[in-house]
Structure 1
Amino acid sequence: MKIRLSCLPGYETLVPKPRLAAGTLPDWVKTMPAKTESAVLAGAEVRTVKQCPPFLDAMQAGILFPLAADLTVENGELSWDWDLPAHPQGRTSRSPIGVHVPEQGRGVPGVEDGQFLVKFNSFWTLELPEGWWMLFSHPANRGELPFRTLTGLVDADQWRDGLVHFPAIWTDPQFSGTLAAGTPVAQGWPVPREALELEFGPMDEAALTRHTQVQDALQDEPGLYRKSYRAKRS
């Protein structure tokens, strides 16, 4: 699938580009052990999520959308030193972030009364092939980030000339420091816009045999899913 991303002429060297999530695991995943001892299991060795392909594949699927500029956070105040030049055809803010007033998030779990929502601004349009949505959400499994991006679904095959921004709840009021430009603030996954149909029923004899074989093999062969069932990634 080819996805086209466009920015205003002249901005292509000034604003960070979204990037494929493949191969962009954070440092904490790279440094965590693949196995560790479990106190609950009396010191028995267990595999960590570093050996869980679905956990890692979710983090490496789709597109990561970056923070446009360094963001300094001190005493609950957010500031930046970034002067993106005005563009004669520009119609939106040149700030890397904006806000949603508290009333816009009222009733959303996790939004405290009177709390502003952060809006991470994007400078790239996005065009998907006909019949595809883009699901935007918080970067998968990135709980260390001091915010939580809200989830949205956009008809990206139709909304190809407008920008998509990313509202988020600031979840760590004690955070102090700098979020670097390029920090992922949202992740997007293409989703086919098709009606879903659910079908239920008991396993037939052949399916039950396959199911039993898989369950038995899981006990005998660590990493079975990764070795035998995980599709090859490009």
Structure 2
Amino acid sequence: MNDHIEPPTAFSASPAPALRPVRAASLVAMVTLALAGAGWVARAVWHIRLAMAGEPASGPPDQGGGNHRTLTSLEDSYHLVGTASGFAALVCGIAFVVWLGRVRDNGGDLAGTRPRYSALWVYFGWIVPIINLWFPRGIVADAYRSSAPGERLPRSLNVWWGLWLIGAFGGVGITGGDSADKVIARAYTHVWQLLAFDAAVVGAAVAGIFVVRAVTAVQQRHLDGDALQYGGSPVS
């Protein structure tokens, strides 16, 4: 006589956190990392060309006292290469920060706690002195640990960060304050120093691609799993 009574429904768990899509942002970040690395390869090629050509008899481009001589065609083309590689690095930085902000937020949602680093440090962590020596790496590591508790951090993380520090703060790297003319003068006298920093920047770009892939992969597992659980398609 109790046939009309409906059986109790199964207890439904609390809905999964609404994670932000990361696949598209990661693809853009990896492509721009590759472009930035290619830009620094081009710089290295021009550094070698300048060293092989040798300094003109008229001396370095910056003559001192605010005087600059007319550039040779090779020196002039180096300015173009430097501008192009600098633009590629800027675009790469923007794309990487966008991706980093997403994985940071997702990591906090997955862990159910506030991220260790404030959202402001996603942007200012790269430029505030002393802080910029470890905060960006910490944000990436925190996002990975929150997304894959108990898993070891990817080896590429430390490789990327070590090479980034060498390339960015080596005096002639991404954040170096020397003008293009002064870098040209160094190519004539200390090309191996320039090539060492170029190699560090290129290596950091390559390792950065692996970092982006690793962090994105662990979060994409959650995104794909949630989509399948609720009958949707994998989230990009």
Q: TM-score, normalised by structure 1?
A: 0.25
Name the structure with the higher helix share.
2
Greater percentage in strand: 1
Query: TM-score when scaled to structure 2?
Result: 0.25
State the structure with more CA Rg: 2
